[in-house]
Amino acid sequence: MFRKLTTKFLFIITSLLLLCIISFAILSYLEIRNAVTAQMQSDGTTLINTVKRELYQGGIKEIPEYQNLFNSIKRESNGNITYVSISDDVGRIVVSDNFVIDGETSGTDAVSSVTTGTDAVSSATAGTDAVSSVTTDAVSSATTSEDSITSSVLGTDNIIGQMLMVGNEEVYNISTGCIYGNDLPGSLNIGISLTGMNQQLRKSFIEISTISIIIIVLALAIGTFVTNRLTRPIIKMSERMDDFAKGDFSLGIDMYGKDEIGKMSVALNHMRDTLSGTVGGIINNSKEVSDSSHNLSSIIDETSTIAQGITQASEDLAMGSSDLASSAQEGLESLNKLADEINNINQRAEVMISSIEKTSKANEIGTNSLRELQSAIADNVNVTENIREQVELLTENSQSITEITSVIKNIAKQTQLLALNASIESARAGESGKGFTVVATEIRKLSEQTSSSIAGIEEIVHELESSISSTRDYMHQGSQAINRTSETSEDTSKALGIIEELITNIISEIQDIIKDISKVNKDKNKVVGDFESISAIAQQASSSTEEISSVMEQQMANIEAVSLAAKKLQNIANELDISMSKFKIKA
């Protein structure tokens, strides 16, 4: 919470001061209050005895006389007495400085009135001021409380004091036994106001608080001064120790004394000198180690470069010899495979010649079949032409039928008109024209039948014309297809002729290839022998270079181990230089 030593000291001093001052203020307040209370009890006892004696010596018997006496006492107190009263043997107020009980209400229990919320005193003293009512309630409460004060002091000279609240005012009530009126037992009650005492206590508390604040301020000022004096050397030593922790030994601690802080500063200076000398020696040695490791690393790098060159050359030589031996062996194997392939090619060429001869025969058969197809196509063309001519003739005949039906249709229409006219004329003729009417009717029926038949014929003729048109189209399409077929067959015939010519040439070329393959097969044995010699020599060279490469690899491994150690030493030296560069020592 508090990081600085000065703040911690001030906090401790302030806390202790506050604790002591608060404790002192509370104790002082309590002691003053107790002392005032004790003095009030003593003064109250004296006062109530004086009033009691004055009551007895004055021979007062009437209630108004009591009230006049109580009023004069209250006025002479200058506000220090709140009330003076007498209560009967059951705790009811008989008379006070501003209240007299009526005979008709003498049996009323004042305490009961108060505890049930009905203000009996206010009802009895309607028209009086509110303070009198409150005073009456307070006296009634004091004289009728649990273990009633009246019963405690009744018929005795005992004096009992009790704190009460009268409205917002605190009152110290003092009660003692007395005889009033016609030798009636009761209690005399005096309420002493505590307002003055409380004001005095508050004034005293304010004075104590003010003095305490002044003391705290002075204590803080003195504490701050003393704390700074005490902590300044410690703070300086803390700063120097922080510098030492960061590696700065260039400055010392210029504080001397015979106390513990002085001894600590001397010890820190000795520690600084010792560490500074040690660090200086380490810095010098680290520089020498760094230089030596750098030189060693350079020499090892040069040696490693040379050894790597030798190793690379031997590896290249071994690789070349190995590749040569491998290539020679592969060449030998390839030649053997080539010989096998040559034999296979020779056999396949013979099979190819046989296949080509069969292809030539099949080509000849295809040519003959094509010729027959062309002849059939020519016949099909002739037949198609004849069918086309018949279809054209059928078309002409259908058109003639159509013309004939048109003529018959016209005749039938005219016949119907004639029959209609005959019917009209016969109707005009009357009875003599009935025979003509029958004949005209029959003629009309025949003409209608003729018209119906002609309509059927026309429909058939139209269907026939449609079929003829479709047939003509099909014939035209068939003729075009036959023409295309004829053209294709001619092209196919030409292609077959070219294929036959090419087959003849291929057979001649294959025969020449077979002759060359036979010659190559004779020369490959000599080449195989040469490759076997090259492979033996390459294998021997590869073995020698592998031995050299193995020796150089071992040498390189040793050099790499030394180089790695040198690099580690160099890294350590560099890290040591970096670490030492953080330190600052005395020049």
Backbone angles phi, psi at 90, to 5 degrees: -110, 10
Best-predicted range by mean pLDDT among 211-220, 332-341, 518-527? Answer: 211-220
The share of the chain scoring above pLDDT 70, in percent, equals: 73
Q: Which of 111-115, 293-297, 417-421, 563-567 has the highest mean pLDDT?
A: 417-421
State the pLDDT at residue 551.
Answer: 67
129: how many CB neighbours lie within 10 A of its CB?
Answer: 10
Quick check: helix, strand or coil at residue 73?
helix
Please tell me the total number of residues recorded for the chain in this structure. 587
Q: What does DSSP say about strands 93-96 and 81-87: parallel, antiparallel, or unpaired?
A: antiparallel
Q: What are phi and psi of 93, to 5 degrees?
A: -75, 125
> What b/e string do you get for 301-332 counting C-beta neighbours within 10 Å, with b at 16 or more?
eeebeebeeebeebbebbeebbebbeebbebb
pLDDT at 15 over 80: yes
> Is residue 297 scored above 80 in pLDDT?
no
Q: Sheet containing 81-87: which strands, arranged edge to edge?
A: 99-100, 93-96, 81-87, 184-193, 169-180, 159-166
Provide the CA 573 distance to its chain's centre, in angstroms.
48
Residue 64: pLDDT over 80: yes
The answer to whether residue 468 scores a pLDDT higher than 70 is yes
The pair of three-digit structure tokens given for residue 413, joined into one six-digit string? 């229409």
| Alpha-carbon gap, residue 252 to 266, rounded angstroms | 10
HSE-up (13 A, CA, CB side) for residue 217: 5
Exposed (0-12), middle (13-18) or buried (19+): which is 91, by Cβ within 10 Å?
buried
List the one residue out of 422, 448, 444 whose CA is nearest residue 435.
422
In angstroms, rounded to a whole number, what is the distance separating the alpha carbons of residues 232 and 253? Answer: 12
Give me the mean pLDDT over the 501-518 stretch.
74
Q: What is the mean pLDDT of residues 286-309?
A: 72
Question: Where does the pLDDT of residue 284 fall: very low under 50, low under 70, confident under 90, or very high at 90 and above?
Answer: confident
Residue 225 has pLDDT above 70, yes or no: yes
pLDDT computed for residue 299 by the predictor: 76
The answer to which of 34-48, 191-205, 370-384 has the lowest mean pLDDT is: 370-384
Closest CA to 377 of 494, 477, 488, 476: 488
> Helices 260-429 and 195-245 meet at what angle, rounded to 10?
90
In this prediction, residues 388-410 reach a mean pLDDT of: 78
**Cα 335–338–344 angle (5° rounding)?**
150
Q: What is the pLDDT of residues 482-500, one digit of tens each?
A: 777 777 877 777 777 787 7
Phi, psi of 158 (to 5 degrees): -65, 145
pLDDT (tens digit, 9 = 90+) per residue, 102-147?
A: 543 333 333 333 323 323 333 333 333 434 444 455 455 544 443 4
Residue 251, SS3 per DSSP: coil
Looking at residue 26, its pLDDT comes to 85
356 Cβ neighbours under 8 A, 6+ residues apart:
503, 506, 507, 510
Q: What are phi and psi of 258, to 5 degrees?
A: -95, -5
Q: Which residues contact 67 (CB under 8 A, 6 or more apart)?
A: 95, 96, 97, 98, 100
Are 274 and 255 spatial neighbours (Cβ–Cβ below 8 Å)?
no
Average pLDDT over residues 249-260: 66
Q: How confident is the model at residue 541 (pLDDT cuts 50, 70, 90)?
A: low
Q: Which 3 state secondary structure label does DSSP give 143?
A: helix
pLDDT at 395 over 60: yes
- Is 80 exceeded by the pLDDT of residue 354? no
Instruction: Tell whether the model's pLDDT for residue 16 goes beyond 80.
Output: yes
CA 18 to chain centre: 52
Mean pLDDT over each residue of the chain, to the nearest integer: 73
Q: Residue 521 has what pLDDT?
A: 65
Contact (CB, 8 A) for 86 and 187: yes
Residues 241-251 have a mean pLDDT of 71
- Residue 585 confidence class, pLDDT cut points 50, 70, 90: low
Instruction: Give 192's strand partners.
Output: 81, 172
Per-residue confidence (pLDDT) for residue 544, from 0 to 100: 67
Which DSSP string do the residues of 498-552 spell out, in sequence order? HHHHHHHHHHHHHHHHHHHHHHHHHHHHHHHHHHHHHHHHHHHHHHHHHHHHHHH
User: Which pLDDT does position 125 carry in this prediction?
Assistant: 31
Judge contact between 45 and 52, C-beta under 8 A: no
Contacts of 317 (CB under 8 A, 6+ apart): 541, 545, 548
Top pLDDT among 277 and 215 is at 215
